Amino acid sequence: MNEAKNEILTRLQRALVTDAEEERRRAVAARLFHHRPVLVPARAQVEGEARIALFTEMAEAVQTEVARLESFAEIATAASRYLRRHNLPQKLVAAPDPMLDAAGWDRQPLLRVRRGNAGPEDAVGLTLAFAGIAETGTLMLVSAPERPVMLAFLPETCIVVLPLSRLDGAYEESWARLRALSPMPPRAVNLVTGPSRTADIANALTLGAHGPKRLLVLLVPEPEAPVTEAGDDG
């Protein structure tokens, strides 16, 4: 196996190595460690309400439904209403992320909620986005034990919670935030722009090829500060 590696690299070196080898190595290091400013389209450089409007417009253009909620605790109610509107059973599986504990589940006693990963029998999955990207109406989902990936891929209906503080203009902003948390990316970063689709049969756009048929994004403010125990003011 190493023989193959050596042969491929030797062939490349024969074509590429110059007298200024130090320079070549420096150029590579520079690219890898100083992330170059790239061209970010002007469209993506919007703030505040204009950013929310752009995200909504771009997401709706690719069949994502977008709803804006007054509070984090309305999530359960909004999810329940959405399921009723689509004639789906009042049942979903939600990411075990502790942030979603404040989604107001107790306000919807008829909504059956399981916390964990989605299996093949689950019809509705609900998860939390790491970021939203206004440029193209894209969600950035980041894997973690409390946010398994399959929630957004196995069920036919997917609901994603996006706190407004996490809405960025361009992809690069979200990557910079993620890199600041850990230099090594998590196992999976899924950028999702609309429900699953295909045009492989007769060029007809059809939703729900393998992933979800329906995608609902709930734009929410941060959850209300949880009641902290005495002495814990962190």
Task: Work out how close the CB of 185 gets to another protein at its nearest, in angstroms, rounded to a whole number.
Answer: 5
CB 89 within 8 A of CB 162: no
Q: How many CB atoms lie within 10 A of CB 138?
A: 22
**Owner of token pair 């007809």:** 204
Decide whether 56 or 138 has the Cβ nearer to another protein: 138
The CA–CA distances, whole Å, from 97 to 19, 101, 116, 155 equal 54, 8, 9, 18
The residue type at 129: A
Q: What is the DSSP letter of 60?
A: H
Task: Work out how close the CB of 164 gets to another protein at its nearest, in angstroms, rounded to a whole number.
Answer: 21
Decide whether 208 or 221 has the Cβ nearer to another protein: 208
Task: Work out how close the CB of 109 gets to another protein at its nearest, in angstroms, rounded to a whole number.
Answer: 27
Decide whether 95 or 220 has the Cβ nearer to another protein: 95
Task: Work out how close the CB of 213 gets to another protein at its nearest, in angstroms, rounded to a whole number.
Answer: 9
Decide whether 202 or 227 has the Cβ nearer to another protein: 202
**Owner of token pair 């007054």:** 70
Maximum distance among all Cα pairs of the chain, rounded to whole angstroms: 73
Distance CA 124, CA 214 (A): 10
